[in-house]
Structure 1
Amino acid sequence: MTSVSNESPIADGSREPARVIVWDPFIRLFHWLLVAAVAMAIITSLILPITWLGWHLAAGIAALVLVAARIVWGLLGSTFARFSSFVAAPGDLLHHLRELQQGVARRHRGHNPLGGAMILALIAIIVAIGVTGTIALGGALKIGPLAFAVDYTGGRTAWVVHQWLAYGLLGLIALHIGGALYESRRTRENLVRAMIDGRKEVRRADIAAPPRESSPGLATVIVAILFVGIVPAVIVMMRWPAAGVPEHPLDKVYAQECGACHVAYHPSLLPAATWNAIMDGLARHFGEDAELDPAKAQAIRTYLLANAAEHYDTLAAHVFTQPDPADPLRITATAFWTRRHASLPPQVFSSKPVGGRGQCDACHQDAASGRFNPLAILVPQQPPP
């Protein structure tokens, strides 16, 4: 078997082989910023609680912006940054794989065909993750530029796809790292170092693309045009009313009578059947007598049924429809509530700033709207023991 490491480097008069710039400053900066953005997105999604969603969104947006700039630079950048220098036809990719298997593959000064395929795969999956994440936010959480167009079911489906794509990205990252280590060993050149200083050795048998001049000015103009065109459109779309979220203030009678003893829960948190059961049992309302004047009770019942979960398409309106059989009327007994709050220590709920498990508005700044946006969560600071 022939090893590519036996190729002779071209010396510059000293003992060290000549090293030339292969990866321009943009490519190196893009690479490491994308590493940071993807790492932040993974950590805030798979490890940290939902309260880190804002950081997750920021990391995702950063990754999409970087990929968009990379696509532009792939068309207008320096020689080895261009797609034309490393995107190989399927036949060429298979030929390269056969040469690797036989141990006779030549060294590419830029990306080899397998590395080029990986770059395209990474770009494609990051874009797909960004798209499905935006759809999921719009449908499931009713936030973002697509909240006006996506229903909860579509959002949840996109969320599942988003998660599977994230696992697929982890797999591609593992393959990418493995491929870089393998190629470093095969060619006896530190590819990580090359992505830091941009330089690689010049060898006589190198396969290298024809030199191409970069157009940084034109690339900057195109990125700026994209930014100016997309950002205002996104801002406008985010202001459109979310689908399936009627904007109704809490009924004054309901807020006054029920809010006198506890939080006046948004009616969309429970289905009509549960509200009927609660109103039927006011004489024994969670261990207390909460009976009301019949006229007021009927007015409150009418309001609750007209705005129950069946009339909303929010996350809360869907997740609380399956009560705990042992305690069917209590929101804090549902499996979703228990699972979502499992990471909080009991003393948080018993503290004075919160005041109980059912005091939603102590942490959820938008509890009165029934949305329960994770970005609106602010757990009060607990005093030291």
Structure 2
Amino acid sequence: MREVPAPFDGLAYDGHLVWDRFTRVFHWGLVACVSTALVSGFLLDASWIRLHLVSGSLAIALVTARTVWGFTGPTYARFSQFLPSYRQAISHLRAGAAHARHIGHNPLAALMVFVLLTLIVGLGLTGVASLGSGLKSGPMAASLPASQGHIWSKIHELAAFALLSFIALHIGGVVLESRRSRENLARSMINGRKEMRAGDLTAPPRPAQRALAALFISGLVIIATGAINRMSQSPLPLPPVGSMALVYSDECAACHMAYHPSLRPAASWQLMMDKLDSHFGEDATLPKETGDEITVWLVKHSAETVDSKPATLWTGLQETLPVALPNTDIWQRLHGSLADGTFTRRTIHSRSNCFACHRDAESGWFSPFQISVPKEPKQ
């Protein structure tokens, strides 16, 4: 951190511009984006995934823009000005109230900036990996198997908890430093100005390279917009299941939804087809030739054969008697946030009516991008 004591004429005065407009807009824009991403990720259900995706993507775009500005911006926005050494950080921590006042970032605040920016980038990368593996959407959809979806989601969640912890430390540090230096640091990030005092550490002025930064940031906006659109698109298509699907649908959809074969493991389908004479309280027996053909088709396209998150969830389903999917622990855990009354609405009618809320239920994907819980129509 190349800073020198500022000259002092015996008077303290307000109005020294420290934080340029871009830095201030970036700071509060990032606060808004990260807050929205954390709330939508931790507190809202899966139907809010688009908001989570957009806010997270915008946060990454802001961090990338800030990185560009860190090399092209004015004096106190540049990384070269406030990148601290380990010795400077320890010295600042030990000095306490006696430390010299930094007009820009002090060593501990500078370290916090780099930690927060790194964590946000890490959250973006693990989020894209989770989206690509679990939901088969985005730039990593083709390169990561669905079986890794849970792992990447857990890493993404842990990174979010780490970010929350460092945000709390950051806020605490701002409050403590504001009291020690007798100034409102949060307000200075709004109006950009600080009071100049005797012995303050300042840096030699450096002009901003605005044209270069504008070029990079404009390109970034275009790339970010394209990335958001791509990540929110439909998932990779499942392998075609052939003409036999029509026979299966004709025989089963007369009574209930024709569940995609990837929603049960092979053994479960075999058990289901072997006990059609007592199919959940009804006799659903089929001609032997038709039943055998459907059984072979269901086993051929069962959960073990498909790389999707729903298939991965139900691969381990074990039964001695056929169990309806809404009665499984997995289904109940996934729908635990919905009130029981939701499923008695006329627009839904039954827990087995997946089509009511999942527009892509027939495809077997059950993507959160396609969730819409219908409301009860007015009388």
Say whether the fold is shared (TM-score over 0.5): yes
Correspondence for 1:147: 141
Q: Is 1:320–1:334's contact at 8 Å kept on the other side of the alignment?
A: no
**Structure 2 vs 1, CA of residues 37 and 218 (structure 1 numbering), >3 Å: closer, same or farther?**
same
1:269-299 per-position Cα deviation (integer Å, ceiling 9, x unaligned): 0000000011001111000011112121111
Q: Which has the higher contact order (CA 8 A, sep 6+)?
A: 2
Distance 1:384 1:238 in 2: 32
Q: Say yes or no: does 1:371 pair with 2:365.
A: yes
Give the CA RMSD over aligned residues.
2.4
SS in 1 for 2:190: helix
| Runs of 4+ displaced beyond 6 Å | 233-241
Q: Say yes or no: does 1:78 pair with 2:45.
A: no
Distance 2:83 2:26 in 1: 19
Distance 1:10 1:22 in 2: 21
Q: Give the TM-score normalised by the residue count of structure 1.
A: 0.90
1:305-346 per-position Cα deviation (integer Å, ceiling 9, x unaligned): 110000012111121234476865211111121012122222
Q: Say yes or no: does 1:185 pair with 2:179.
A: yes
Distance 1:17 1:78 in 2: 22
1:239-291 per-position Cα deviation (integer Å, ceiling 9, x unaligned): 89749x42446711001111111000000000000000110011110000111
Distance 2:167 2:223 in 1: 32
SS in 2 for 1:18: strand
Q: Give the TM-score normalised by the residue count of structure 2.
A: 0.92
**Structure 2 vs 1, CA of residues 241 and 169 (structure 1 numbering), >3 Å: closer, same or farther?**
closer
List gaps (5 residues or longer) in structure 1. Answer: 1-6
List gaps (5 residues or longer) in structure 2. Answer: 1-6
Identify the match of residue 212 of structure 2 among 197, 210, 218. 218
**Structure 2 vs 1, CA of residues 327 and 36 (structure 1 numbering), >3 Å: closer, same or farther?**
farther
Percent identical residues? 41
Q: Say yes or no: does 1:98 pair with 2:94.
A: yes
Distance 2:110 2:98 in 1: 19
Correspondence for 1:380: 374
Q: Say yes or no: does 1:267 pair with 2:261.
A: yes
Identify the match of residue 39 of structure 2 among 32, 36, 43. 43
Distance 1:143 1:310 in 2: 20
Q: Is 1:310–1:317's contact at 8 Å kept on the other side of the alignment?
A: yes
1:31-64 per-position Cα deviation (integer Å, ceiling 9, x unaligned): 1111111111111111111111111111101100
Identify the match of residue 61 of structure 1 among 50, 57, 61. 57
**Structure 2 vs 1, CA of residues 91 and 381 (structure 1 numbering), >3 Å: closer, same or farther?**
same
**Structure 2 vs 1, CA of residues 317 and 31 (structure 1 numbering), >3 Å: closer, same or farther?**
same
Distance 1:251 1:17 in 2: 79
Identify the match of residue 239 of structure 2 among 246, 249, 252. 246
Distance 1:338 1:291 in 2: 29
**Structure 2 vs 1, CA of residues 9 and 290 (structure 1 numbering), >3 Å: closer, same or farther?**
farther
Identify the match of residue 297 of structure 2 among 284, 290, 303. 303
Distance 2:134 2:231 in 1: 17
1:1-35 per-position Cα deviation (integer Å, ceiling 9, x unaligned): xxxxxx98964xxxx72321111111111111111
Distance 2:280 2:252 in 1: 13
> How far does residue 78 in structure 1 lie from its aligned partner after superposition?
1.3
Correspondence for 2:4: none
Letter in 2 for 1:246: P
Distance 1:43 1:137 in 2: 18
* Residue-pair matches, total: 372
Identify the match of residue 292 of structure 1 among 282, 286, 289. 286
Identify the match of residue 351 of structure 1 among 322, 345, 357. 345
Letter in 2 for 1:159: S
Letter in 1 for 2:202: A
**Structure 2 vs 1, CA of residues 111 and 327 (structure 1 numbering), >3 Å: closer, same or farther?**
farther
